[in-house]
Structure 1
Amino acid sequence: MSVIHAPGVRESSALFRDISAEDEEQQPAEIESLCMNCYHNGLTRLLLTRVPFFKEIIVSSFTCDSCGWSNTEIQSAGRIQEQGVQYSLSVRNKQDVNREVIKTDYAKVQIPELDFEIPACSQKGALTTIEGIIERTIVGLQQEQSLRRAENESIAAKVDEFIIKLQRLKDGEDQFTFIIDDPSGNSFVENPFAPQKDEALLVTRYKRTPEQDVLLGLESSSASQKQEEKPMPTSEELRDEVLQFPTNCPECNVPAKTNMKLVQIPHFKEVIIMATNCDSCGHRTNEVKSGGAIEPLGTRITLHITDLSDLTRDVLKSETCGISVPELEFELGMGALGGKFTTLEGLLKDIKDLVVDKNPFTLGDSSSSDRREKLEDFGRKIDQILEGHLKAHFILDDPAGNSYLQNVYAPEEDPEMKVEKYERTFEQNEDLGLNDMKTEGYEEKA
């Protein structure tokens, strides 16, 4: 087996450290820069830090001794996710208006009922609520009203009518749909019923378009064209090779290495496994991509967990696969957790980590005691399953048919596992991008 090495990456200490008043090494970097008010030189201070239960941020502060002008700004330095995300919430009352929202710079906000949209990159990222986003819009519209009345009274009157409509939405008097679409995948809308599914909230993860990749700075249009012209290696060429390429650690953002290998899973199919190990903070992660096409039928796998040995079964969860545990009234939509090749025990621990330990809306001073108690109870039930004290049904539902749960009796049937094939719905085909594909009716022209 040969190993292909990419250019080396340097080892470094963590770029983003937890914010702390006692950390003497956490000092801002100072850069002399031009003041845009008086055009003399001022001083910019940059602090790279991590906010607990949120993400990495860059705090920048500029001061000018010549004119006294100052400016402070916060920018997200978080890792761009593999997929974009869209949250669609049916807002029905004042409680829904008070839901917390994490909105990044790249997120687009829409309210279809008012034909209202806040374009991407038009506002800075913020941790706020739906009410806060609407209030910020109202304040922005009211600032220019005196000028509009002087120039065009009819336009000012229409803006007044629109402000009244926004005010009714903010007060919870009218129902509406709140949509936040973020190609970076780093925006969130609170689910107050977690870990249970919120029937009013629809979460859709999607593959970014080339235009969205350019917006995020992931690649230029010319680089995208060159990449398309380069032929992809075949599976035979990749079968005995480990590809290695530089990346950044998702935990501390220090340069690291990712290994990629094509693997044949017995009684299933080929998959691509990617693993990242960080020498700086010790963080390890792995991700799985399907090496084959989307299957003609979806697959639903149900396992009755009756013994601790069931937790050692291998699990391949593709990025299109959803998870549910009826005994816990728990459902995890497709796209969450990404693709994974692990054991059932490891997947349950990842679910607990995602829902309980790293949930930004259920930790910290702003979370309610009832919500914390509900999440802690969910975590205890996960522990009971892991310890063998609670029997449960574990369900993998993959519309693409690319997920797998080990059958320890293979090639015979497993008495505790049920595998069902089903026809996908129109909505599932839409999520997989199949409805717009046309693969028949093409004729070769002479």
Structure 2
Amino acid sequence: MSVISEENVRGGSVFKDISADDEDWQPTEIESLCMNCYQNGTTRLLLTKIPFFKEIIVSSFSCANCSWSNTEIQSAGRIQEQGVCYTLKVRTKQDLNREVVKADCATTRIPELDFEIPPFTQKGSLSTIEGLLDRAVAGLEQDQAVRRATDPEVAEKIDEFIQKLRKLKEVENEFTLVIEDPSGNSFVENPVAPQKDEALTVSLFKRTIQQDKQLGLRADDDSDEEPAGNDLDTMRNEVLVFDTNCPECNAPASTNMKLVQIPHFKEVIIMATNCDSCGHRTNEVKSGGATEELGTKITLNITDSSDMTRDVLKSETCSVMIPELEFELGMAALGGKFTTLEGLLKDIKDLIVAKNPFVCGDSGTTDRVQKLNEFGAVLDKVIAGEMNVHIILDDPAGNSYLQNVYAPEPDPELITEKYTRSFEQNEELGLNDMKTEGYQEEN
């Protein structure tokens, strides 16, 4: 029986890349009860990494007495700060081939059929849109034989609904697939990356207290009242430190947080995480103020490599566009960043080329990988100042910033526009349902 050694834990991560060459890394074997014959069988646990789930636990049970076996995959990655919702308009049969990572806590809906798969009713899976439909059909068919004998009317209605689900695979009419995951660990493939996917909408949302309890982030008997905030004067003068887990190796780490005043802009919150186990470092920026009354659109004409040293604050609600490259990065990607223009472009390159989960391993086709590598080479030219392009930061919340190197004088290559948000943008920011007046009269 092999075990996870202390040396592996101290080495930084107990999660290893799958490799046929690593003979020393063996599954952990545990004697456990067989739920089929109630005699002892063997469970094998393998802690590893795959491109989609980062860290996973693969468990395989087998019983030598009755030959029953079972395999399960569980995500061992951290729960993200915000939930994510993917809304896909399925218009062609090609859309059925999109790869999907669905966490076990995600809710799947097809509004046109009034169909919903509640959270925690299915195990996490890596599949396609067609695979999700087939899995839903298989789940509905599972007990049909018993239903036909005990309740024929219900069985007949389920048969009719199963036919509707199967008909969706013909894509005779457009339908909508919604995957809402409060853990933020589900994904839907964008097959036209790095271009914007017109059929796919990605939005982030703040978890409710009930969702926090379902994910185990709050105790079931925890009060529904939000904790009181820290004193702002204390936060301005001190660096706050709190415990967290490393996003790469999941080892215990610490996050530093501080309020910083950006010249000629506003106050922001900078959070930096350093991991002593694997050396991973990351930083994220949150706006320290309220949502502005108007959105902000910043356009910079990059004319020289010196522009790469400009400071950039990209909030989590800001999208990035490069018209000359027909490229658009949605506001749900990268999160908040306080870096230089060069750093932002390198992060974009890493996101769509090096860290793109849908081009790793067997999932990446040759044409797609070549296309993204060519796009990465073009970004390298922009960073080196060999190619002049325009970069646009569009933030409907008005909390993003690009340094004016001529401040307080106007910058001839920088255009900042204020605009009124659309209803859809207010909806994404959660402002349409926000009521701040009239409470006195109602009470």
TM-score bracket for the superposition, by shorter chain length: over 0.9
Q: Deviations over 1:145-196 (max 9, x none)?
A: 3322223333332222222211111133332111111111111111111111
C-alpha separation in 2, matches of 1:180 and 1:54:
16
222 and 140 in structure 1: CA distance in 2 versus 1, 3 angstrom threshold? closer
Aligned match of 1:312: 309
295 and 329 in structure 1: CA distance in 2 versus 1, 3 angstrom threshold? same
Aligned match of 2:345: 348
Aligned match of 1:94: 93
Other structure's SS at 2:424 match: helix
Aligned match of 1:414: 411
Q: Do the aligned residues in 1 keep the contact of 2:202 with 2:332 (CA within 8 Å)?
A: no
Aligned: 1:235 with 2:232 = yes
Query: Which one of the candidate residues 395, 398, 403 is aligned to 1:401?
Result: 398
Shift of 1:61: 2.2
Aligned match of 1:220: 219
C-alpha separation in 2, matches of 1:25 and 1:275:
35
TM-score normalised by L of structure 2: 0.93
Give the unaligned 5+ runs of structure 1: 1-9
48 and 310 in structure 1: CA distance in 2 versus 1, 3 angstrom threshold? same
Q: Do the aligned residues in 2 keep the contact of 1:321 with 1:403 (CA within 8 Å)?
A: yes
C-alpha separation in 1, matches of 2:62 and 2:278:
34
Q: Do the aligned residues in 1 keep the contact of 2:53 with 2:185 (CA within 8 Å)?
A: no
Shift of 1:243: 1.1
Q: Do the aligned residues in 2 keep the contact of 1:295 with 1:402 (CA within 8 Å)?
A: yes
C-alpha separation in 2, matches of 1:92 and 1:445:
46
Aligned amino acid, residue 275 of structure 1: A
Aligned match of 1:7: none
Q: Do the aligned residues in 2 keep the contact of 1:318 with 1:338 (CA within 8 Å)?
A: yes
Q: Do the aligned residues in 2 keep the contact of 1:109 with 1:118 (CA within 8 Å)?
A: yes
Aligned: 1:137 with 2:133 = no
Q: Do the aligned residues in 2 keep the contact of 1:261 with 1:272 (CA within 8 Å)?
A: yes
243 and 192 in structure 1: CA distance in 2 versus 1, 3 angstrom threshold? same
Matches within 5 A, 1:42-441: 42-52=41-51, 54-225=53-224, 228=226, 230-441=227-438
C-alpha separation in 2, matches of 1:387 and 1:69:
60
Shift of 1:444: 7.5
Q: Do the aligned residues in 1 keep the contact of 2:52 with 2:101 (CA within 8 Å)?
A: no
Q: Do the aligned residues in 2 keep the contact of 1:168 with 1:174 (CA within 8 Å)?
A: no
Q: Do the aligned residues in 2 keep the contact of 1:320 with 1:398 (CA within 8 Å)?
A: yes
Q: Do the aligned residues in 2 keep the contact of 1:11 with 1:254 (CA within 8 Å)?
A: no
C-alpha separation in 1, matches of 2:51 and 2:132:
23
RMSD: 2.0
C-alpha separation in 1, matches of 2:389 and 2:15:
40
C-alpha separation in 2, matches of 1:392 and 1:294:
29
Aligned amino acid, residue 156 of structure 1: A
C-alpha separation in 1, matches of 2:397 and 2:376:
30
Other structure's SS at 2:363 match: coil
C-alpha separation in 1, matches of 2:26 and 2:222:
37
Aligned amino acid, residue 120 of structure 2: C
Q: Do the aligned residues in 2 keep the contact of 1:54 with 1:360 (CA within 8 Å)?
A: no
Aligned amino acid, residue 142 of structure 1: E
Other structure's SS at 1:443 match: helix
C-alpha separation in 2, matches of 1:320 and 1:264:
19
C-alpha separation in 2, matches of 1:162 and 1:129:
21
Shift of 1:81: 1.6
Q: Do the aligned residues in 2 keep the contact of 1:92 with 1:176 (CA within 8 Å)?
A: yes
C-alpha separation in 1, matches of 2:301 and 2:349:
19
Other structure's SS at 2:362 match: coil
Q: Deviations over 1:28-82 (max 9, x none)?
A: 2333433333444443322111124552110112334555443221111122222
Q: Do the aligned residues in 1 keep the contact of 2:209 with 2:224 (CA within 8 Å)?
A: no
222 and 292 in structure 1: CA distance in 2 versus 1, 3 angstrom threshold? farther
Aligned amino acid, residue 300 of structure 2: L
C-alpha separation in 2, matches of 1:401 and 1:445:
32
Other structure's SS at 2:440 match: coil
Aligned amino acid, residue 317 of structure 1: K
C-alpha separation in 2, matches of 1:421 and 1:375:
33
Aligned amino acid, residue 338 of structure 2: F
C-alpha separation in 1, matches of 2:206 and 2:52:
26
Q: Deviations over 1:261-286 (max 9, x none)?
A: 11111111111111111122111100
Aligned match of 1:6: none
Aligned amino acid, residue 100 of structure 1: E
Aligned amino acid, residue 212 of structure 2: D
Shift of 1:364: 2.1
C-alpha separation in 1, matches of 2:140 and 2:228:
51
C-alpha separation in 2, matches of 1:16 and 1:143:
35
Other structure's SS at 1:88 match: strand
Aligned match of 1:30: 29
Give the unaligned 5+ runs of structure 2: 1-8
Aligned amino acid, residue 419 of structure 2: Y
Q: Do the aligned residues in 2 keep the contact of 1:53 with 1:358 (CA within 8 Å)?
A: no
Q: Deviations over 1:308-364 (max 9, x none)?
A: 111111111111111111111111111211111111100101111111111111232
Q: Deviations over 1:375-411 (max 9, x none)?
A: 1121111111011111111111111111111111111
Other structure's SS at 1:365 match: helix
Q: Deviations over 1:186-215 (max 9, x none)?
A: 111111111111111111111111111111
Other structure's SS at 1:361 match: helix
Other structure's SS at 1:164 match: helix
